[in-house]
Every structure is written in C-alpha cells, then in structure tokens.
Structure 1
Amino acid sequence: MPTTLLYTFIVAISVFAVYTLIPELFVHFFGIGSWKRHYSPGVTLTFDDGPDPRYTPRFLTVLAEQNVRACFFLVAEKAEKQPELVKSILDHGHTVGSHGYRHRHAWLMPPLKTWDLWNKAMEEMRRLTGQEPVYVRAPWGGVNLSFLLWCHFKGKKLISWSADGRDWRIERTPNHIMQRITGRTKEGTIVLLHDSGGDEGAPQNTLAALKPLIMKIQKELKLPLVPLQLPGWSLPKRIGFRVWEKWEHFYGRRKQITRIDERNIFRLGLTRYHGPELFNENGELIASAGDMIGEIHLDNTRFQSFGANIQKIGYNALKQARLSLPALASYISLNPGYKDIKVFLGVTLINRGVKGLGFNVTEYTNGNAGFIGFMQKIVYRVYNPSAKKDTEKLGTKPKVVWISKDALLEKYLTKKSSTQG
C-alpha cells in the first residue's frame, strides 16, 4: 500500500508539473510561447483587469493628453457590463486584448474549463468590438498546458511583460510604481499596469504615476511610447535579435554613445579620428589624424520600421534623418562636451542622398572597410530580416559622411525638429 501511494503521489506531481509548472517555466523564464517584449525601440504600456467605470475613463484622459496609445487587456465579464467604456477605449485609438472571461488563475482550471472560458471570452469580445482580440494575457500571468494549446490552435499571441510596478497593491505609492518600472525599462519593454482590480483604491496610485512615468520614459530614458505591434518573426530570429541587441548595448556603453531624444534616428559619441585630413568650405583644416571628433551613429533598432526592401529603408532613413538633424544640432550646441569639436561624421553603407542633407562623402581608407561593411549588413538583416536579400545592393565598402560643426549648426540649428514635438 505505501508503494501504491508513493506511485500515485509521483504521478500526481508529474501531471501537475506538466500541466502547470513546466508551461510557467517556458512562458515566464525562457519567454517561449509568449511575448515578453516587442521588437522596436519604443516602450508599450498595457493595462489589465478593466474596464472600470471609476478609473478607466481617467486613464484614457491622461493617455489622450500625452498622445500615447496603449493596450487594454479586458476581463470579458466586466466588459459586457460596460459596453460604452469598451467603445471609448477603441475610439481613443487604443488596442483591446483579452484577459479572459473571469479573473481566475489558470492553475485552478481544468483543461475543458480553460477552453470553455477562453472561448466564451472571445465570443463576448467579438460581440462588443466586432472582432476577436489577437492579443491575450492570462489573469495573474498564470498559464497551464491547456491554455497554451488553446493559444496555438486559435492563433492568439500570448502577451507577457518585461516591467511592472506591482501597482495592484495599495501600499505602492506613485513614486514606487514609477521607479520600479523605469528601472526595468529599455527598448522593446512591455509595461504592465492596472486600471482596475487589486487592492481597493490601488488604481488611484497608478493614475497619479502615469503622467510622470510617461514623461520620464520619454525625456530621461529617451524612448518613445508606441502601440503594441509584434513582427511576424520566428523564434530563432527573435533570439538572434536579442543576442545582437545585447552586443549593441555593450558597445554603446563602452563607447559612451548616447541618444539625442526619444525619436531621433541618431546617437552620438566622441572618438579619435584616424582618416585623411578634412577641410571645411573655406579650405580650413578641421580634422586630422588624432583629433577628437563627434561620431554619429544610426539608432539601429529603428530599422525594422523603415520598410521591407533596401530602397525603402534608405529613403525612410534619409527622411527621418532630415527630421532628426535639427534636434541633433540643438543637442550639440547645448552640450559642453562638444564645444571644441569641429567635425561630425559617420561610416555607413547607406550614403546615397546625404549630400542633400549638407554632408560630404569621402572614401573610407582604413584597412577594416570590408569588415565594417560586413558588420553593417548584419545589422540591417538583424533589425529588418525581410530586407535580407536586398542588402547585397549596398555593396561592400562603406563611405565616410561628414559635416563641419559650423555647417551643421548654420543649416539646422534654427529649424524646429519634429522629434521634439
């Protein structure tokens, strides 16, 4: 009898692990079967447990004032009682996702009940909005094997998160919420907040934190707030992106490369010049080997939004560069670190059309030109896999594009940058 009980216990634990613990491990630790982040330079705000007639309209007001689009994961049982509020969320331009029919943890639901409640949630959301949500998030973030299979067969994207403020607890002050989230926020972060649920009155703290949080993400972290949009990338492409991104972060910290603002296509750093002598429009020497110069870098994470072929990428890059240069000029003029810098340059394969922006184009004479060209092609393929075949049209040798500080400030300093809007 003891042996039988032992076997029964082992089987029960094994079934429980397969049904709940292993799916949780894959989803929340490895990020397999869910999206813990998106793949753009921006940050996305998401709100769970609504809609709530006391708080949701106030969240919509703040988001509208800040011109931010978010994703609201609605509990269908609440949504069916607030159809006008659901309509208001959509009318404000936000995305609606499903948070299930009832706010029940997946571990407490057997397989058939899991499918029935999620199907019921989809039916209700389709009735309220005219279509089924593509994005879903499990209550408490809890998943089971049945739910993961449901997501797969129904073609739903399970959305997790990469930063949260634990804002469902009433003791979380607005400052605690803001500091916890911003400390975990970077490119592609999905932020979890609540416009309902949790401790009584807790959404009031979240509401008080929302505007300062938005401003800090945009102005201090220099990251845009963007709607939730996911690329149609396979898991290997997503893993490759993350690996390369970590390398870029390391390189940026090592070289002290900084962003200009939340929407600027450029990043900026300082480096020693190793190329041929450069002369300004008046024939004056402005850079020779060993001089400190400003080094302009493209913000590579923005490439996936520039198009599906290299021509479109180049066109959109030039268009965004034209919008970004006034803010770059303003940043340089106000930053004492660039007071004595006389020239700003970049080394890039995308160099057609830059003369129209006031830049000069010079051959890159250093011996590592082929390596730099190879690495830049990898960048374009990583950040925009759909343009992989077109990168051969870029050639193999990058060019030096450069502009004197005086010319840059004269041409762009008096213009207003749309990126500062």
Structure 2
Amino acid sequence: MELILWIGFYFLTFYAFLPALISRIFGFRVFMRGQSANEVSLTFDDGPDPVYTPKLLDLLKRYGAKATFFVVGENAEKNPDLIARIHKEGHIIGIHNYVHHTNWFMRPRTVKRQIHRTSDVIKRITGARPMYYRPPWGIVNVFDYANLGYLQIVLWTSLFGDWRKRVGADKLYKRMRQKLKPGQVFLLHDCGITFGADRDAPAHTISALERILDDGRDMGYRFVGIDEMIAITEEAKNGKNGRRKAARRTSMNRSDSATEISHSIGPLKKAIVSLWMLWEKIFHVLFRLHPVGDGKFFNYRIRRYSGPPIDLRGEQTLRSGDHIMEIHFENKMLFDLGMNSKSTLQIGIRIIREMERALPNMARELATALNGEKVKALYGVSMIHRGSESLGYQNFDLPRGLFSWMTNVYLRILMRVIHPAGNQRVRDKGDSMNPRMLLMTRDILLTWADESRVKRRPDRARKSVETQEVAAAEFEEGTIGKLV
C-alpha cells in the first residue's frame, strides 16, 4: 500500500502538481500579467455560445474594445459563424481544448490531439491557426511545456467566479472594479454549459462588463487583445533589462574584488525550491515524521523494512518486516547550507558534522519512540558513499526497481537545486552519481547515546576527522548527501 502511495505521490507531484504550481506562482512558461501604462486584457473562456457570445460581441463593438476568446473546439465546430465573426471583428481566438477536460487526467498525446483538433477547426473557419492556449482551469502538466512550445500558454491575473449565477451582476461588478488596473488579464466566461457552471451566468457577466467598460473609458484605459498586451509587456521588460544591466555593470566595477558567499538563484530555481519545501511539509504529514533533536537537520519515522535480506555487522540479517528507523534530511537547512557555503568542500564537511552531532539524539529517540524497542537498524538513502563507515554505517546498493529509479531522479534534481554548480555536476558526473542505502545496526547506534555526556574516545575523534576529510573529498568528486 505504501508503494502505491509513493507512486501516486511522485506522479501527481512531478506530472501535474509541480508544473501547475510553478506556472501559477512564478509565471514559468506562461503569460498571466502585463506591464502597461493604460491597457487591460479581457479574456473569455468556454465559448462560443449561440445566446451570449453575440451579445458580448455587440457590447465590445459598441465600446471599441478588443478581447481574447479561448474557445472549446466542439463549441467552435457547432458555431462556425460566431468564430468567423470573432475573427472578423479583430478579436484574438485561442484554444481551450476540444472538450473542457483538465490536462491533469489526460495523457500528453491526448492533450496534443485535442489542441490540434481545435486548431484545425479554427483554421478551416478563419484561415489562420491560433497562437495562444489556455488549459481548462489553468492546469498544465509537465509535458505541456515541451509539447506546446509553438503556442503561448496564457493564464490570468484575476478571476471573479462569474460562472456562478448566484454571484450576481452587482457583486461581480464590484469585484472587477477593484481589480481594474493597467496590465490586468481578466478571466471571464461567455458560456455556462461546462461542468460546475450555471447556464445563464454569462448574462450577469455581460451586465457587469458594460459598467467596467464605462469606467475604463473614463479612466483612459484601453481594452486590448492578449497579443497586444504581450507585445507591450515585452517592450517594457526590454527597457528595464537594459537599465538593470547598466546598473549591474556599475556595481561590478565598484566591487569587482568582492566575493559573494550566498549564491543567487533564478526564478525557475526559486519556484522549484518553494515547491520542494511545500512537498516536504506534505510528506511530513503523510508519513508522520518526527524531529531528531531540534529538528533543524533531521527527522525520522519508524517503519517496517521491505526489501531483500541484507547481512549486517555482528552476524545480523535485516529481513523484510523488521523495524527500521528511517532518517530524513531537513530540506530547508540543506538548501541554506548549499546557498551559504563558499565551496563544495565546506558543504561536505558540514553535512558529516551535522550527522555526527545528530547520532546521539537518534540513539536516545529509540528509548521513547513508539516501537523503538523493535528497531533493528538505522536506515537512510544517500549519495555520500565513502566516509559513512567511520561513523558506523554500512552502505549497500539500492535494489533495482521503481523506488531506486525515482530516488535517483529526485537526488539529481536536489543536486541541481542546492549545489552552487549543480547543473554542471550532473551533466559531467551524472553517471557516477548513484544513491545507496546506509545502514547502522541498533547496537552500534546505541553506543552513541551518551556521546554528548562523556569525553569522546581518541579513536572516535580520529575517525571523525578522517570521516570529514574523506566525505569532503567524495563531495568534491561530485556527490551530495541527502537522506530520504
């Protein structure tokens, strides 16, 4: 059952949850907010609708406003005259899938087929293929970034719940008026036949929109298609980038001899780190992790081992069903460690030191933890292979299978995130980076229990120094520690 949970968790995280969150929060590979002085973009989803789309077009024409319509392919096929009118009156037509289904639960090939089919419908009617795409509910999957590279994915800045009839025109107007500012991309609906929508809700949308168009005209705003908003935004960004580069050159000239310890990261890495921290919180709840000591570096859980028999020291054998104490590294501290270290050597030494400091607390946890008396071994998975023996660990190859593959992928992503030169390390030495199981028998772990209260034995101190040096050298070889 736990394996099924792991598979489902990895699938939802990497296929759907992470891409959607990255796009929504950080705007990765999507457009959702403009930079303009006087322009606002109105976008409409789910149509065309034979009742409400004509009324909406009449309203837009009366005010000289342009909009973007993300159409559902099957609706476009049923109403070709409306598609032709939208195109003729200078509005932008985008794709909203052939049917209104979320991309989370469709295979990449199915999403691609839906988009191509809708594009073909629009091409037959207007003579031109769409350049813009908005997935239903704004949900992308990881393959959308690659498969839809020829389309600009468009999300939104503000949405207002206008698909529900009970919101009403007055409340809808107040919500829209509050958000009426330059650069906004409004998400509205001209069709109410999709799942969860009310059939006549667009009537309220049109009523509220008329008042918004009045207000916008009085404020000197222009309502433009998404193509113009993107063009204006790109022009504004290019101007800002030029000024930033000039300022950066000046700053570098002033402090060209200074060296920064804290490594800067770009928007994509920030997105990955934020999602990584969120993922850890969810993981802690799902698998009921407990802190080791103050919990700043390590957490643990006690579970049953499931895998092939492993021969341990002292003629002991770990078998499937035996209890283990599984150790997990705290992601935030690991990231801070990577970002605030001068070199990979410093990171490697610090990781070994923190492990050594944590072992006495891990040993004492066995006395109070539920099923602690049944634990046969301390267990973790790490990319630090050498040096761990001096602390009392044995290391073993991970059994081949799905877990091994997923762990390898995860640790490579981790390497790219926290290592100052992680991308280059993975490219150059990826073949030699393989996670291994680290196991310490219960008897050896318990010898650490009084480590903080008695004087360290000379042999233990000597081994500690050797451990740090060996592990640091190993780290320089291109590996990084992460217990999962």
Q: TM-score, normalised by structure 2?
A: 0.46
SS in 2 for 1:50: coil
Instruction: Show the counterpart of 1:213.
Output: 212
Q: State whether residues 74 and 99 of structure 2, in contact with CA within 8 Å, keep that contact through their aligned partners in structure 1.
A: yes
Instruction: Show the counterpart of 2:4.
Output: 8
- CA separation of 1:219 and 1:109: change in aligned 2, threshold 3 A: same
Q: State whether residues 68 and 225 of structure 2, in contact with CA within 8 Å, keep that contact through their aligned partners in structure 1.
A: yes
What code does the residue aligned with 2:167 have?
Answer: R
Q: State whether residues 165 and 176 of structure 1, in contact with CA within 8 Å, keep that contact through their aligned partners in structure 2.
A: no
Query: Per-residue displacement from partner, 1:348-369 (whole Å, max 9, x unpaired)?
Result: xxxxxxxxxxxxxxxxxxxxxx
- Rounded Cα–Cα distance in structure 2 between residues aligned with 1:175 and 1:89: 27
- Rounded Cα–Cα distance in structure 2 between residues aligned with 1:10 and 1:150: 27
Instruction: Show the counterpart of 2:13.
Output: 17
Give the helix-richer structure, 1 or 2.
Answer: 2
Instruction: Show the counterpart of 1:132.
Output: 129
Shift of 1:25: 0.8
Q: State whether residues 182 and 217 of structure 1, in contact with CA within 8 Å, keep that contact through their aligned partners in structure 2.
A: no
Say whether residues 1:62 and 2:59 are aligned partners.
yes
Shift of 1:114: 1.5
Instruction: Show the counterpart of 2:424.
Output: none
Q: Aligned to 1:48, which of 45, 55, 78?
A: 45
Instruction: Show the counterpart of 1:108.
Output: 105
Query: Per-residue displacement from partner, 1:196-230 (whole Å, max 9, x unpaired)?
Result: 0221210111111111011123325x422222222
- Rounded Cα–Cα distance in structure 2 between residues aligned with 1:235 and 1:67: 24
Shift of 1:84: 0.9
- Rounded Cα–Cα distance in structure 2 between residues aligned with 1:186 and 1:233: 14
Instruction: Show the counterpart of 2:264.
Output: none
Query: Per-residue displacement from partner, 1:100-122 (whole Å, max 9, x unpaired)?
Result: 11111111212221222122222
SS in 1 for 2:204: helix
Correspondence 1:294-333 to 2 at 5 A = none
- CA separation of 1:110 and 1:119: change in aligned 2, threshold 3 A: same
Query: Per-residue displacement from partner, 1:217-259 (whole Å, max 9, x unpaired)?
Result: 3325x42222222239779947957x99xxxxxxxxxxxxxxx
Instruction: Show the counterpart of 1:37.
Output: 33
Query: Per-residue displacement from partner, 1:125-157 (whole Å, max 9, x unpaired)?
Result: 2222212100111111121112222222xx111
Correspondence 1:355-374 to 2 at 5 A = none
- CA separation of 1:175 and 1:21: change in aligned 2, threshold 3 A: same
Instruction: Show the counterpart of 2:190.
Output: 195
- CA separation of 1:44 and 1:186: change in aligned 2, threshold 3 A: same
- CA separation of 1:240 and 1:10: change in aligned 2, threshold 3 A: farther
- Rounded Cα–Cα distance in structure 2 between residues aligned with 1:131 and 1:162: 27
Q: State whether residues 165 and 178 of structure 1, in contact with CA within 8 Å, keep that contact through their aligned partners in structure 2.
A: no
What code does the residue aligned with 2:26 have?
Answer: F
Q: State whether residues 36 and 233 of structure 2, in contact with CA within 8 Å, keep that contact through their aligned partners in structure 1.
A: no
Instruction: Show the counterpart of 1:324.
Output: none
Structure 1 unpaired stretches of 5+: 245-421
- Rounded Cα–Cα distance in structure 2 between residues aligned with 1:59 and 1:68: 11
Structure 2 unpaired stretches of 5+: 245-484
Correspondence 1:216-295 to 2 at 5 A = 216-220=215-219, 222-228=220-226, 229=228, 230-231=230-231, 237=237
Q: State whether residues 47 and 76 of structure 2, in contact with CA within 8 Å, keep that contact through their aligned partners in structure 1.
A: yes
What code does the residue aligned with 1:37 have?
Answer: R
What code does the residue aligned with 2:191 have?
Answer: S
- Rounded Cα–Cα distance in structure 1 between residues aligned with 2:10 and 2:121: 35
- CA separation of 1:89 and 1:235: change in aligned 2, threshold 3 A: closer
Instruction: Show the counterpart of 1:121.
Output: 118
Question: Which contiguous aligned blocks of 4+ residues in structure 1 show a shift greater than 3 angstroms?
Answer: 232-241
Q: State whether residues 66 and 225 of structure 2, in contact with CA within 8 Å, keep that contact through their aligned partners in structure 1.
A: yes
SS in 2 for 1:208: helix
What code does the residue aligned with 1:123 have?
Answer: D
**RMSD value, Cα:** 2.4
Equivalences, count: 236
Correspondence 1:73-88 to 2 at 5 A = 73-88=70-85
Instruction: Show the counterpart of 1:173.
Output: 168
Shift of 1:75: 0.7
Correspondence 1:315-394 to 2 at 5 A = none
Shift of 1:39: 3.1
What code does the residue aligned with 2:13 have?
Answer: A
What code does the residue aligned with 1:36 have?
Answer: M
- Rounded Cα–Cα distance in structure 1 between residues aligned with 2:217 and 2:141: 36
What code does the residue aligned with 2:112 have?
Answer: W
- Rounded Cα–Cα distance in structure 2 between residues aligned with 1:120 and 1:60: 25
Shift of 1:184: 2.1
- Rounded Cα–Cα distance in structure 2 between residues aligned with 1:236 and 1:223: 17
- Rounded Cα–Cα distance in structure 1 between residues aligned with 2:44 and 2:234: 26
- CA separation of 1:232 and 1:56: change in aligned 2, threshold 3 A: closer
SS in 2 for 1:144: coil
- Rounded Cα–Cα distance in structure 2 between residues aligned with 1:163 and 1:239: 26
The more displaced of 232-241 and 130-139 is 232-241
What code does the residue aligned with 1:38 have?
Answer: G
Shift of 1:182: 2.3
Q: Aligned to 1:28, which of 24, 28, 35?
A: 24
Instruction: Show the counterpart of 1:247.
Output: none
- Rounded Cα–Cα distance in structure 2 between residues aligned with 1:206 and 1:57: 13
What code does the residue aligned with 1:104 have?
Answer: H
- Rounded Cα–Cα distance in structure 1 between residues aligned with 2:238 and 2:152: 15
Instruction: Show the counterpart of 2:296.
Output: none
Q: State whether residues 137 and 159 of structure 1, in contact with CA within 8 Å, keep that contact through their aligned partners in structure 2.
A: yes
